[in-house]
Structure 1
Amino acid sequence: MSSRRSRTTGLRAIGAGLAALGLLASGCGGGDGGADGKVTIRYSWWGAQDRADLINRTVDLFEKENPGIEVKTDFQEYGDFWTKFNTQAAGGNPPDVFQNSYAFLRKYGQKNLLLDLDAQVKAGNLNLDDFRQGLGRAGEVDGKLLGVPVGANTFTLVYDVKAFEEAGVTPEPGWTWKEFDAAVEKISGSGKDFWGASNNGGVMYLYDLYLRQQGKAFFTEDGLGFTEADLKKWWGDYREKLDDGLLVPAKQAEQVKPKSEVSAGLSAAEFTWDNFLVRYVSETDRELALAPIPTMDGERTGQYLSSLMLSASARTKHPEEVAKFIDFMVNDPEVGKIMGYNRGVLPTNAQFDAYKPEGPDAKIAEYEKSVTDYLEPITPHPAGTDTVEAAFLSIYGSVAQGSVSVDDAVSQFFDEAKTALGS
């Protein structure tokens, strides 16, 4: 964890400690006014130090242009962020504004933890008119605007260009899972301690795309959109590929964390969000590129645009200032130049036009442009999505390690998912 100002570190630590002990009054949410007459708001996000460095520069810019508002910043890695956020929320002291994602909007919206920003849009404090590809209302759930996108991304295959060239396979629109599997098999047989692909069998979003290609989906309005037989085939196929030496073994994958298996030189391909390319490229000298998701029929990938968002606490004492802060972060061209595609392709035309992508960012922009014509609407995410996603990853991890059978793992997942979804 890091902060933008050392003088605020102690205050944040005390606040977090009080929240953990449940000593913060349930009615005291958000920032407050300072002795100098400034309004103080708290802003939290998850990510690594490189993201924090960029965001802190944008906060400095906001404060310079809005001298009456002070922003206290705080960040953690993904898991630690949500642990702290939940503790703060339970204590009635969540941050005024924080990074969020589509998967959490309904969960926290139903708990009345998120501010409906529509009132601020109507008041003119938050402008949604300049968003690309209809992203402005992407954070609308059950008629409430609970989040505003700060970046857009979609799923992709990050792959080692040289390895695929040597395998004689060119990933391109319309390629199939059979072609992908053939490439993985060729590459896995080419050298010791280098595998054709990372083991992504526990990635919920990848399985969702695979299901969407078959006219199904991970989630429906009634709960899970697939059967135990469906999941047994998915996890069974991945377990078989592991046994055949085609995927990075669990032990080796664990040893290179927090690097990905691709950037660590263990794997030639990995399914992930396209904006992760920036991080992967920074971790390796190998040439990496992006490819669309393989298909069942040569046409449908099931891909959609998702996004990181900014949400506001329903307890904030300063909804107007928070709205102005969000507006600045998504519309100001200089913010776009600073952030680049760290959180995905920039969401508004003003920021998108102001930033001239180079290196991996240029590849991301080109990739998203190439898949625009076949993007589909996002699958609705119910409350409990985060718990289901964690269970999907963790339980499959046991399959990958060989400590539980596929059949037992599937049964365990369905039990836990039904509990999490209240079905």
Structure 2
Amino acid sequence: MGTSRNVERRTILKAAGATAATLGLAATTGCGGGSGSGDGTVTLRYAWWGGEPRTIAIKKTIALFEKKYPKIKIKPEFTDYQAFWEKFQTQASGGNPPDVFQNAVGFLRKYDKRGVLMDLKTQADAGNLDLENFRNGVLANGQVDGKQIGIPVGANTMALVIDLKAFEKAGVEAKFGWTWDEYFDALQTIQDKLKIAGDTGYFTIMYLYDLYLRQNGKAFFTDSDLGFTDDDLTQWWEDGYKRVKSGLVADPKKIEQVAPKSGLSAGLAASEFTWDNFSIRYEGEGESDYGLAPIPTTDGKDTGQYLGSLMLSAFSGTKHPKEVAQFISFMVHDPEVGKIMGYDRGILATTEQYDAFKPTDANNKGVAAYEDEVAEAGVLGKITPHPSGADVIEAAFLRLGGEIAQGKTKPADAAKALFSEAKAAFAG
């Protein structure tokens, strides 16, 4: 890695308090696709998921866009993550999805396969969409089989959030290049000295397992299948369950009892793996200080990390492709939009917005510093492919991992079940 800087010094989080993912917003309803009026005004439906802070910010950006393009009106639709995709599935099946919508890599191939997503390269070629100035190669995240079906609005990477006070009190340090053995040794020291678990449940997180596989020359997905064996997964889950039994990983029943609060911020464990831009939640929920620490490695160097992203996609059947492209281009490049959105959806994806937004709170500064340090370490690779059905498999991985943690399913049986469910998901 070439660096042993103390992560606490570089990336300490001091959150303002609000969580990044407040749920429970009522979904708005909208019938029909984008529409036009007699005076030439066009109306586009724009849908996203997220909490109230995101919705407030996005509505401000919509107002900016409508001021610049008075002949284009935006009709917002928003809800929480699960309800969004349930509704979108119904809309797509009925040929009535929104003109523009928030998207993620796990859904690209699924809806491209069904002909729902527009190839936005056509609008870029027509001069309606700017595909320049995307940072760190993140534009490739929205590409499938030579088509540009998603335009990134932000970028994030997996990180380890740690309880800084617990790590300091136990006398252990998180640093770039540490191995999995060193990580688990540190957690054992914390358990021995502080009598709390080291981790909240690492082995149930699909994207963390993907990093572990990448460290070992594999990946969770190939273009059309799983990139590992059931023996690989059985070993991963067996090791995880042993750590639950030993107390190194927190009791899943206790984790459930404090939900929706995190087990880390509830003081049940000293660390938790998550996406770096989700880390704002911990200071708002907990009573300690929290920091972003490096992903453990197999070889002391390769973390397997890559930049993921939220994106904007467009309906292939929209009646207003030019206006849709103009809207997306504005939303990913306009500097004022960047200032309004900040890092709500990850580190801003284009140079215009990244340069325009200067975080003032230590929370966002910590996320930016973490991603800068990961980039400087030279460990970032390309995102792994996500075949159609990836979203179903992610949900199955989380569910089966939870059953293992509670002793309801044996790891080998869970691995067989995942492969069976994956086969069905890929065929769907």
Structure-2-length-normalised TM-score: 0.90
Report whether the alignment pairs 1:159 with 2:176. Answer: no
The residue aligned with 2:44 is 41
Contact 2:334 2:352 in 1 (8 A): yes
1:119 corresponds in structure 2 to 122
Compute the displacement of 1:280 (Å).
2.8
Question: What is the rounded CA distance, in whole Å, between the counterparts of 1:263 and 1:76 in structure 2?
Answer: 25
Q: Is the 8 A contact 1:2 1:74 kept in 2?
A: no
Alpha-carbon shift at residue 105 of structure 1 (Å)? 0.9
Q: How far apart, CA to CA, are the structure 1 residues paired with 2:71 and 2:43? A: 9
Give the corresponding residue for 2:17.
none
Cα separation, partners in 2 of 1:95 and 1:83, compared to 1, 3 Å: same
2:186 is matched with 183
Does the aligned pair in 1 maintain the 2:25–2:51 contact within 8 Å? no
Q: CA deviation at 1:260?
A: 2.0
TM-superposed deviation, 1:64:
1.7
Asked whether the equivalents of residues 224 and 387 of structure 2 are also in contact (C-alpha less than 8 Å), the reply is no
Structure 1: gaps of 5 or more residues: 4-8, 16-27
- Counterpart residue type for residue 197 of structure 1: D
Equivalent residue, structure 2, for 1:21: none
Secondary structure of the corresponding residue to residue 263 of structure 2: coil
Query: Structure 1 pair 222/120, CA: closer, same or farther in 2 (3 Å)?
Result: closer
SS in 2 for 1:262: coil
Taking the TM superposition and a 5 Å limit, the aligned residue runs for 1:345-356 are 345-356=347-358
State yes or no: 1:319 paired with 2:324: no
Moved over 6 A (4+): none
The answer to whether 1:81 aligns with 2:71 is: no
Partner in structure 2 of residue 415 of structure 1: 420
Q: Which of the residues 272, 275, 295 maps onto 2:274? A: 272
Question: Is this contact kept in 2: 1:337–1:355, CA < 8 A?
Answer: yes
Unaligned stretches of 5+ residues in structure 2: 1-23
**Residues 250-329 of structure 1: pairs in structure 2 closer than 5 A:** 250-329=252-331
Q: Does 1:174 align with 2:177?
A: yes
- Using the TM superposition, give the Cα deviation of residue 202 of structure 1 relative to its aligned residue in structure 2, in angstroms: 1.5
Residue 232 of structure 1: aligned partner = 234
Counterpart of 2:133 in structure 1 is 130
Please state how far the C-alpha of 1:218 moved relative to its aligned partner: 0.9
Q: Match for 2:405 among 400, 418, 421?
A: 400
Contact 1:278–1:342 (Cα < 8 Å) also in 2: no
User: Which amino acid letter does the alignment assign opposite residue 401 of structure 2?
Assistant: Y
Q: What is the CA-CA distance between 1:186 and the residue it aligns to?
A: 2.2
User: 1:109 deviation in Å?
Assistant: 0.6
Q: Counterpart of 2:292 in 1: which secondary structure?
A: strand
- Is the Cα contact below 8 Å between 2:141 and 2:383 reproduced in 1? no
Offset, 1:37? 4.1
Question: What is the Cα-based RMSD across aligned positions, in Å?
Answer: 1.8
Q: CA deviation at 1:195?
A: 2.2
Q: Residue 100 of structure 1 aligns to a residue in which SS?
A: strand
Q: Distance in 2 between matches of 1:255 and 1:368?
A: 33
Distance 2:321 2:287 in 1: 45
Task: Tell me how far apart the structure 1 counterparts of residues 138 and 384 of structure 2 sit (CA, whole Å).
Answer: 15
Q: 2:30 touches 2:77 (CA, 8 Å); kept in 1?
A: no
Tell whether the 8 Å contact from 1:107 to 1:384 is kept in structure 2 after alignment. yes
Query: Which one-letter code corresponds to 2:108 in the other structure?
Result: L
Aligned twin of 1:68:
71
Q: Distance in 2 between matches of 1:68 and 1:265?
A: 52
Deviations 1:133-174 (A, max 9, x none): 122343111111100000011111011111111222211110
Structure 1 residue 267 displacement after superposition: 2.2
Which residue number corresponds to residue 50 of structure 1? 53
Q: How many residues align?
A: 402
Which one of 85, 94, 97 corresponds to residue 97 of structure 2?
94
Contact 2:29 2:77 in 1 (8 A): no
Q: Who is 1:379 aligned against?
A: 384
Which deviations, in whole Å up to 9, do the C-alpha atoms of 1:183-236 show, x marking residues without a partner?
2222234456x4211112121110011011111111124511111111111000
SS in 2 for 1:272: strand
1:236-295 deviation per Cα after TM superposition (whole angstroms, max 9, x unaligned)? 011111111111222222222222222333221111111111233333342111112100
Give the match for residue 338 of structure 1: 340
- 2:222 is aligned to 220
Summarize the Cα distance change of 1:162–1:411 in structure 2 as closer, same or farther, 3 Å threshold: same
**What letter matches 1:411 in structure 2?**
K
For residue 393 of structure 2, what is the aligned residue in structure 1? 388
